[in-house]
Structure 1
Amino acid sequence: MSTVVEVRDLRVETGGRAIVDGVTLRARAGRITAVIGPSGSGKTTTGLALLGEFPPGARVAGTVRTEPGAVGYVPQHPASVLNPGRRVGALLGDIAALRGGGRREARDRVHRAMALARIAEPEQILRRFPHQLSGGQQQRVVLAQALLLGARAIVADEPTTGQDALTKQGIVTELAALARRGIAVVLLSHDIDVVRQLADEVVVMRAGRIVDRGPAGSVLGAPVPVPAAPPDRTGRAARAGGPGPVRIEARALTAVHRTPRGAVEVLHDIGLSVAEGECLALVGRSGSGKTTLGRCLAGLHADHRGGILLDGEPLPRSLRSRSRAQLAAVQYVFQDAKAAFDEHRPVLDQVARTAVRLRGADRDRARGEAVRMMEGLGLDARTAGHRPGALSGGELQRAALARALLAEPRVLVCDEITSGLDPANRGAVLELLAGLRERTDLALVFITHDLAAAGALGDRIGVMDAGRLVETAEEEAPVSSGC
């Protein structure tokens, strides 16, 4: 089989740190090569190298052999490649038009690509801006972009991260179909089940080097179940005495997105409450309204009716109208951690600034607190001292969680924060959140597609569907959500 793109003896160094060292990788037509490894192992840097792209200021050695336009890329953080000022229809239409033909032919191409990417309600999605989409919807739009470009190789960076089970299986089916059509696929993933289904070859990376490679069966061996978190440390004791006072509450919450054709309701008459020391896990398919609900609670989506109360007191709808104390009290950790950081400033400085800005801590104390918090999440100070471009998605996610916790919030909204982490770091984050609930009166809203994580952490599970909270149950009760 022909090689579409190849890197040989690749070394990428930034800030005196080798993030990839001695890597050789080939993407062959009609084959799926999976690159796996823990967060920070160099997977994404290797994948971007196939496109000839490297971190700013990086020192690069080795060779990359490809042709211009031969490789498409589906990033782990989809918002980073979607123009926030243009609607999805314009973004996809421009790409479709590049291949010639009339307007109708371009529109047909767009709809075919959206169908292949499993995008539900395509007409509504085409009228929205990227920020009006869930993380899963953004991911599928970017996949549609890559399909429209007609590349001969696709680098898919955690394409199933943050997706519900039905959409995940659809992406698996589509990637397999791409390979059958002769396209080379390089899959960067933590999802071992997906790798088992798809990969012809598995490459294992650790600390920037390839430590193993071969057929999936020989490299991965028999499936080994990985617990979401140690069962005796999931915070169950926090609810043994019953729930405390209500910490945050939503009453008759109805939210809209604005489109050229008017307002579209995306949340319908939501009512929920989360008590001190309690975790409400929100599950549901991509686009069900989970993220919009979380953003309303945090003041990030002000276009809504109804009330949000913190400790019985009304919260302003907009983040800009909230006081410093209210900002600190309700913290939000984004699914797309990369977009939440300023690419020009060291991550450590940005994390420490939360304690300075919201709690009035002096800079030295804030920096020390930031280092300790990140080290507790498995992120060392030297790594955090780099700019965001030098960190992996998983490393940035842990930094984002540390930044929110430095505000010492009373409510923490976590949007798919474990979906981009390897099993070890995923378990560590769940342990940390469980421990916080044991030691504090933190109320946690945990948005996830991972029912195992929801069961490990949640006291109650709320199921979202089409903008409605259709079911809430104690964790032990069986929940069917399609996710």
Structure 2
Amino acid sequence: MNPVAEIDALSVTVAGRTLLAGVDLRIAAGEIVALVGGSGSGKTTTALALFGEFPPGAEVRGSARVRGRAAFVPQHPAAALDPVRRIGSALRELAGHHGNADPATALRRAHLPGDRAFLRRFPHQLSGGQQQRLLIAGALLGDPVLVVADEPTTGQDPVTRAGIVAELRGLRAAGIAVLVLCHDLDVVRGSADRVLVLDRGRVVEEGRVAEVFAAPAAEYTRALVAAAAPGAPSPRGQTPAGVGAARLEITGLAARHHDAPVLHDITLTVEPGTCLGIVGRSGSGKTTLARCLAGLHAPAAGAIRLDGTPLPRTLEARGRGGIAAVQYVFQDAAGSFDHHRPILEQVARTAIRLRGLRARAARAAAAELLERLGLPAATTARRPAHLSGGELQRAALARALLARPRLLVADEITTALDTVTRAAILDVLATLGITRVVIAHDLAVITRIADTVAVLHEGRVLDHGPATAVLAGR
């Protein structure tokens, strides 16, 4: 094999903490290699080393090099794209940095239209899959020999996810080397040739994908594969559906984005202690519905009641008690934290503001809950930039739970988690006893946690009922 990218005996430590320990990696032209491992396992540190980037104050031994240009496709396309610039303008500027490369060719290679109407759109006017393909198009400007894709299918529905896997295969067919950082083992199976499994900065297993996943040798790999396999649903909340007064009632809810209707006549009921799973394609209105529940998007019509009491339409009108009662966990956990303050301090602030605890008691309560979710004191003393995406997502969940809400709204919160951590978090959610509304593209997540399911399509409820009945018909 004549590799286009090589990492030799790479070790990285920061303030005495080992991020990588003797990692070796080779990627050939026209090959897809997947890096798999839990949050904080070293995947991102390994990938960024190929661009010569290391954490501040890092002590580095070994080497990483690419024979040609490498391009990076980040995890969250909506955060990476400039919301106030039209697509064509941003692409032309980027092309100028690569010797006036042809944007039309890059768009065509990424299976996107290059007509004037498309180029005049803004990023928010694209679906999640189109946004991801746009980032791939930008990466292809300048003809890279290597494309590094960080969780490229995060938060995508199954159809869009399959399309992105096809895009990765297309890069391979074009002779481009691809390094994929991924928690989704189905995506790895469908796209990668080889896989490296990282655990606490060390490669514990590597080989052909089919062989590693069929008979994993390392205990850690076996745990990842087992957690990703279909299994029995988690234990449900203590109150069965259909008993007592409804905790959440949504009646005739409608919502708009500017002049465009997004939700139409949504009517749903959630019983105390149960979980409503909301599924649907990208753009079906799932997140808008969730934001309406949390007071982050004002409905155009209809009503939302919590324990029979109407909820004010906006967050500002709800007051401290109303904000604590309905807590929202965002998909993009990194964007929901202040990057200048330690995680423990930010999580504890919830108990101070919404429960009236004193600072010392709030920090103790926050530390206990964070520990329960797998975040020890050494981790939560750091600022957000020093935590992985999965660690930040667990911290965001802890912050919401610390408010002791009556309703928890979770928007794709397991997408950045490895299979083992995801299973653990879902078990926690399933046994909380809190009423939950969970949005997920992954039907395995919904199967594991939901009591009832609502299927949204183009802003309308297409199907709604017990999870077993609705999912059996999917």
Task: Please give the TM-score of this superposition, normalised by the length of structure 1.
Answer: 0.87
CA-to-aligned-CA distance 1:149-199 (integer Å, 9 cap, x gap): 642211111212222221111111111110110111001112222222222
Corresponding position of 1:127:
121
8 Å CA contact 1:136–1:287 kept in 2: the answer is: no
- Name structure 2 gaps, 5 residues minimum: 217-224
Corresponding position of 1:196:
189
Corresponding position of 1:234:
235
Given the alignment of the two structures, is residue 471 of structure 1 paired with residue 463 of structure 2, yes or no? yes
Corresponding position of 1:418:
414
Secondary structure at 1:86 match in 2: coil
Given the alignment of the two structures, is residue 254 of structure 1 paired with residue 254 of structure 2, yes or no? yes
Question: 147-156 vs 81-90, which deviates more?
Answer: 81-90
CA-to-aligned-CA distance 1:98-149 (integer Å, 9 cap, x gap): 56779xx74x457536635xx9x9968963454x777666544433433456
For the residues of structure 1 that align with 2:273 and 2:119, how far apart are their CA atoms? 37
Correspondence list, 1:148-227, <5 A:
148=141, 150-222=143-215, 226=227
Corresponding position of 2:77:
78
8 Å CA contact 1:282–1:462 kept in 2: the answer is: yes
Question: 28-37 vs 145-154, which deviates more?
Answer: 145-154
Give the CA RMSD over aligned residues: 3.0
- Name structure 1 gaps, 5 residues minimum: none
Corresponding position of 2:442:
450
For the residues of structure 1 that align with 2:399 and 2:126, how far apart are their CA atoms? 24
For the residues of structure 1 that align with 2:264 and 2:319, how far apart are their CA atoms? 28
The 3 A distance-change label for structure 1 pair 374 and 28 is same
Corresponding position of 2:309:
313
For the residues of structure 2 that align with 1:133 and 1:322, how far apart are their CA atoms? 32
8 Å CA contact 2:76–2:154 kept in 1: the answer is: no
Correspondence list, 1:66-465, <5 A:
66=66, 70-88=69-87, 90-92=89-91, 94-95=93-94, 106=103, 108-109=104-105, 112=108, 115=111, 127-130=121-124, 138-148=131-141, 150-222=143-215, 226=227, 231=232, 233-235=234-236, 237-239=238-240, 242-258=242-258, 263-302=259-298, 304-437=300-433, 442-465=434-457
Secondary structure at 2:195 match in 1: strand
Secondary structure at 2:62 match in 1: strand
8 Å CA contact 1:347–1:384 kept in 2: the answer is: yes
Q: What amino acid is aligned across from residue 76 of structure 2 in structure 1?
A: H
8 Å CA contact 2:106–2:140 kept in 1: the answer is: no
Question: 328-337 vs 83-92, which deviates more?
Answer: 83-92
For the residues of structure 1 that align with 2:6 and 2:339, how far apart are their CA atoms? 29
Corresponding position of 2:219:
none
For the residues of structure 2 that align with 1:270 and 1:123, how far apart are their CA atoms? 32
8 Å CA contact 1:14–1:390 kept in 2: the answer is: no
The 3 A distance-change label for structure 1 pair 14 and 436 is same
8 Å CA contact 1:190–1:420 kept in 2: the answer is: yes
Aligned-pair distance for 1:434?
1.1
Aligned-pair distance for 1:403?
0.7
Aligned-pair distance for 1:335?
1.1
CA-to-aligned-CA distance 1:265-313 (integer Å, 9 cap, x gap): 2222222232221211001112211111111211222364433333333
Task: Please give the TM-score of this superposition, normalised by the length of structure 2.
Answer: 0.88
Question: 275-284 vs 47-56, which deviates more?
Answer: 47-56
The 3 A distance-change label for structure 1 pair 457 and 233 is closer
Secondary structure at 1:268 match in 2: strand
Aligned-pair distance for 1:255?
2.1
Question: 180-189 vs 138-147, which deviates more?
Answer: 138-147
The 3 A distance-change label for structure 1 pair 404 and 113 is farther
Corresponding position of 2:50:
50
Q: What amino acid is aligned across from residue 207 of structure 1 in structure 2?
A: R
Aligned-pair distance for 1:408?
0.7
What fraction of aligned residue pairs are identical, expressed as a percent?
Answer: 51
Q: What amino acid is aligned across from residue 453 of structure 1 in structure 2?
A: V
The 3 A distance-change label for structure 1 pair 337 and 200 is same
8 Å CA contact 2:238–2:273 kept in 1: the answer is: no
For the residues of structure 2 that align with 1:304 and 1:147, how far apart are their CA atoms? 42
For the residues of structure 1 that align with 2:263 and 2:95, how far apart are their CA atoms? 32
The 3 A distance-change label for structure 1 pair 110 and 272 is farther
Aligned-pair distance for 1:18?
1.6
The 3 A distance-change label for structure 1 pair 277 and 140 is farther
8 Å CA contact 1:76–1:393 kept in 2: the answer is: no
Aligned-pair distance for 1:60?
3.2
